[in-house]
Amino acid sequence: MSMIRTVIVDDSAFARKAVREMLSASPHIDVVGLARNGHDALEMVETLKPDVVTCDLLMPELDGASFVRMQMARRPVPILILTASPQDAERVLEALDAGAVDFVQKPTALANDQLLVIREELIEKVKAAGRAPVRTLSPKLEPPTIIFRPARTALKVDIVVLGVSTGGPQALRYLLPQLAADFPVPLVMVLHMPPGYTAIFAQKLAEISLLRVKEAFEGCPVQPGEALLAPAGRHLSFQRTPDGRVTVKLSIEPFKKPHRPSVDVLFQSAAEVYGARVLGVVLTGMGDDGRQGAAWIKAQGGTMLTESEDSCIIYGMPRSVVEAGLSDASMPLASMAQEISKRL
């Protein structure tokens, strides 16, 4: 793996030092520049042409979201946003809409229990961002005005379950507005996000979608026309009540999964409760969460769709499903809403 030339942008000298020390732990990352604000960063990126930029969200003069917007207009480059608090969720989502690849909670001290976990996450996300194709980095186009409706025939599917990670907020903002208000089955989604972000992201999706979008809660009914987003920090599974309804079950177990919520947990539970009448979808993201769950769906006779490499910000999760021979079809994000509707 070649060295990933990285520029760090932060108005705090302490934060610049902390991030530099964390990234320097990787033999694959070379920190080539430190910028104090967004204006300095624009000049530094122009001069140094780094592979990746890490950027603080809240800065004087030019904040993180504004820097992302201006940099993308000049020359797209993978940008990773660093944020201190979930209270800034709206600004984080604004930066992602502007073209940032992903975000990480930055440490509040150089020595604490979370530092090692944060360091590993930061390094992995910088390495993933360094592999992101430039063509996928520009802000997503507005969803087409066409709304896709399933054919008026007998349904072959009772639920759509969807997993996504890096690039997920952008992908969902593009995909969901293309689905009709009378979407005939429930849509349940897992997006890898830290706690504090999924509720407000669900609200943002609801504002632009015809579907009723909300963050799932314990005992939440699973019903057509609704899109449920798993809350960060808990796995989402399904349970069938004595009267035949399906409701949401939330749990912190299993503990060994690298992500909570886990796409694997969602997919496996869907396969167990709905059998062959499951349509699984895996979109952009790093890692392989969803591959084991896809195997459960296929074993029960269900169907799997994957986003193709040419539109993924990170072709990791879909690749793992495809290479395991578990994908029935792959297509770019621009065709996914139509394909989902066709497969129902």
Instruction: Give pLDDT tens digits for 41-69.
Output: 999 999 999 999 999 999 988 999 999 99
pLDDT at 112 exceeding the cut of 80: no
Q: Do domains 4-136 and 159-343 have the same CATH topology?
A: yes
91's enclosing H/E stretch is helix 89-98
User: Distance from first CA to last CA of the chain, Å, rounded?
Assistant: 42
CB atoms within 10 A of CB 275: 13
Q: Rounded mean pLDDT of 170-196?
A: 94
By annotation, the residues acting in catalysis are: 165, 192, 289
The domain made up of 4-136 is a member of CATH 3.40.50.2300: yes
The two three-digit tokens of residue 211, written as one number = 């579907």
Is the Cβ–Cβ distance between 188 and 215 less than 8 Å? Answer: no
Mean confidence (pLDDT) of the chain: 92
Identify the band that residue 85 occupies on the pLDDT scale cut at 50, 70 and 90.
confident
Residue 107's pLDDT is: 59
Residue 328 φ/ψ, nearest 5 degrees: -80, -30
Fold held by 159-343? Rossmann fold (3.40.50)
145-180 burial, b at 16+ Cβ within 10 Å, e below that, comes to eebbebeeeeeebbbbbbbbbbbbbbbbbbbbbbbe
Parse the chain into domains and list their residue ranges: 4-136, 159-343
pLDDT at 73 exceeding the cut of 70: yes
Three-state SS annotation for 231-285: CCCCEEEEEECCCCCEEEEEECCCCCCCCCCCHHHHHHHHHHHHCCCEEEEECCE
What are the pLDDT digits (tens) for 316-342?
999 999 999 999 999 999 999 999 999
